Amino acid sequence: MPALIEIQNHGAIRELRLARPPVNALDPALCLALRDAVHQAAADDVDGVVLAGGPSVFSGGLDVPHLLALDGSGALRAAWDAFFSAARALAEAPMPIAAALAGHAPAGGCVLALCCDYRVMAAGPFRIGLNETQVGLVAPDGIQRLLRRVVGPRQAERLLVGGVLVDSEEALRIGLVDELVGIDEVPLRARLWLETLQTLPRTPMRQTRAIARADLAAALHPDALDLDRLIEAWHAPDTQAGLRALAARLGR
C-alpha cells in the first residue's frame, strides 16, 4: 500500500505531502496518517513542517461519499474525530507549519490550512474557503473562530453564511492566505518562510508562538465543535440533499 503521506526532509524542515489521489479527500485513514506524521515530526524535533498537497487540489475536504456510506452514528463520529485529531495535531504542534496550497482548498482542506502558521497559495484559478453551508452542513463555532482570527469577524460572517469560496487573488486580499506564487514554487516558498524562523532563538520563538496561537487550540476544543449537534443534524433532509448532490457531482 502506498503511503498516504509522503515525507521528504530538507535539512531540519520536513515536508509532509498528502498523497491520496485524485483530490486528497480526507477519509479517516488519511486524517490519522496526517495526525501521526505531525506527531512524528514533533518527536523527531524538526524545525518546521511544510504541509503540501496538489497539484491543482490541495485537498478537496472531507471524503463525503465515504461518510455517506458509513453505517451508524458511531462510524460517523469516528470519522469526524479523525478529522479533528488531524486539525488539532497541526494547531498544537510545537514547531511552525506552513501550508503549501498548490490548488483548491475547500471545506476541510481550508480548515487544515487555517491550522497552519502561514499559507502560500498557487496564483491562478484556485479557490479556498469554508463552503459547508453550500452542501448543507453547519459550520460550528470552533471552525468559525479559525476563520475569524484570520480574516476578521465581518469577512468570516459573509464567507461562512454564504459558503463562499474565493479565488487566490481575493484570498490574498482579505488575508486568508499570506502569499501567492506560481504553482510549481508553492512548497519551496513555504519552506523559505520556515527558514526565516530557523535563525531565531528557538525556545523564545516557540513560546511566543504558543501564546499567539492559544486561541487556535481553544477553537478546536470539543466544546467549541459541538460534534453531537453535527452528527444529529447529519440525517436532516437539507443536509442529506446537499451532501448527495455533492457526491453526485464528484462521481461524474
The piece of 5-13, 54-62, 79-87, 234-242 that touches its own copies (CB under 8 A) is 234-242
Q: Determine, following the binding rule CB under 8 A, whether residue 198 of this chain makes contact with its own copies.
A: no
Least distance to its own copies, CB of residue 21, Å: 29
Give the angle 98-33-235 at the CA atoms, nearest 5°. Answer: 100
Touching its own copies, residues 17-76 (CB under 8 A): none
> What is the pattern of x (binds its own copies, CB under 8 A) and - over residues 83-102?
-------------x------
Q: Determine, following the binding rule CB under 8 A, whether residue 137 of this chain makes contact with its own copies.
A: yes
CA distance readout (Å), 147 to 66, 142, 231: 26, 9, 22
Among positions 3, 69, 212, 217, the unique one binding its own copies when judged by CB under 8 A: 212
Among positions 6, 44, 45, 141, the unique one binding its own copies when judged by CB under 8 A: 141
Q: Which is nearer to its own copies, 32 or 136 (CB)?
A: 136
Q: Which three cell numbers stand for residue 237?
A: 433532509
Q: Determine, following the binding rule CB under 8 A, whether residue 187 of this chain makes contact with its own copies.
A: no
Q: Determine, following the binding rule CB under 8 A, whether residue 138 of this chain makes contact with its own copies.
A: yes
The piece of 4-12, 32-40, 63-71, 132-140 that touches its own copies (CB under 8 A) is 132-140
Among positions 2, 203, 223, 252, the unique one binding its own copies when judged by CB under 8 A: 203
User: What does DSSP assign to residue 93?
Assistant: -
Q: What are the helix (H) ranges across the chain?
A: 28-43, 64-69, 73-91, 108-114, 141-162, 168-174, 186-198, 202-212, 214-219, 222-225, 227-232, 237-251
Contact 27, 79 (CB under 8 A): yes
Q: Determine, following the binding rule CB under 8 A, whether residue 213 of this chain makes contact with its own copies.
A: yes
Count Cα neighbours of 123 within 13 Å in the Cβ-side half-sphere.
Answer: 6
CA distance readout (Å), 214 to 67, 152, 195, 219, 247: 31, 17, 23, 9, 36
Q: Determine, following the binding rule CB under 8 A, whether residue 222 of this chain makes contact with its own copies.
A: no
What radius of gyration, in Å, describes the C-alpha atoms of the chain? 17
Q: Which three cell numbers stand for residue 49?
A: 513542517
Binding site residues, its own copies, CB under 8 A: 96, 117-118, 132-141, 144, 149-158, 160-163, 175, 178, 196-197, 200-205, 207-209, 211-215, 233, 236, 238-239, 241-242
